[in-house]
Amino acid sequence: MLRSCRILLYGVCFLLAGCRSGVSTLDIPVVEPFDLSRYLGVWYEAARLPQWFERGLESVTAEYYRAPDGSIRVRNTGYRAGAKTVANGYVRQVRPGAGALEVSFFRPFYGAYRIIALTPDYSAALVTSSTRDSAWVLVRDPDRAIKVLPKYVAMLKLWGYDCSRLEYPVMAVKTPASAAPR
């Protein structure tokens, strides 16, 4: 019963977050062509326009992987005050060949995950949601962040994001990509 109430509360929070009055990102094109299989693996968060659930998180990683049933999953991991937090989610591609995805941490509710910039070697990505209230700069290698941050922050400013709110979480120490979680 308590678990059901908690899931319902998270679902309501997710819906309310989706109803906020942020400026739409539909005028920003997503990356095309886009190969979802090349996007799989570990990403380090170099910068973010945070959501309420991300406040105080450091050493944030997102690992995208193919589950045994063929679906795409994501495991977000971070640390808040030294305590590890993990969120497991589901990913679906909205349009084949395009960086237009949806992610759910509270099924059946999905939110937009729009890849709006991506290096040709899939080593850095700029991601947003359906509004300009959130954005993430992701890198495969934390050492790469210093090379892409100025360019990606300039792109966000050009597209009307409030970059004064950007957070730069302390990134995890570089480790080899792990095997897909089970």
Q: What is the pLDDT of residue 103?
A: 97
Q: Tens of pLDDT along 9-25?
A: 344 344 334 444 489 99
DSSP secondary structure of the chain? -HHHHHHHHHHHHHHHHHTS-PPB-TTSPPPSS--HHHH-EEEEEEEEE--GGGTT-EEEEEEEEE-TTS-EEEEEEEEETTEEEEEEEEEEESSTTSSEEEEEEETTEEEEEEEEEE-TTSSEEEEE-SBTT-EEEEESSGGGHHHHHHHHHHHHHHTT--GGG-B-PPPPPP-PPPPPP-
In the chain, what are the domains?
24-165 (2.40.128.20)
Q: Tens of pLDDT along 151-160?
A: 999 999 999 9
Q: Tens of pLDDT along 100-124?
A: 999 999 999 999 999 999 999 999 9
Q: What is the pLDDT of residue 172?
A: 56
Q: What is the pLDDT of residue 53?
A: 81
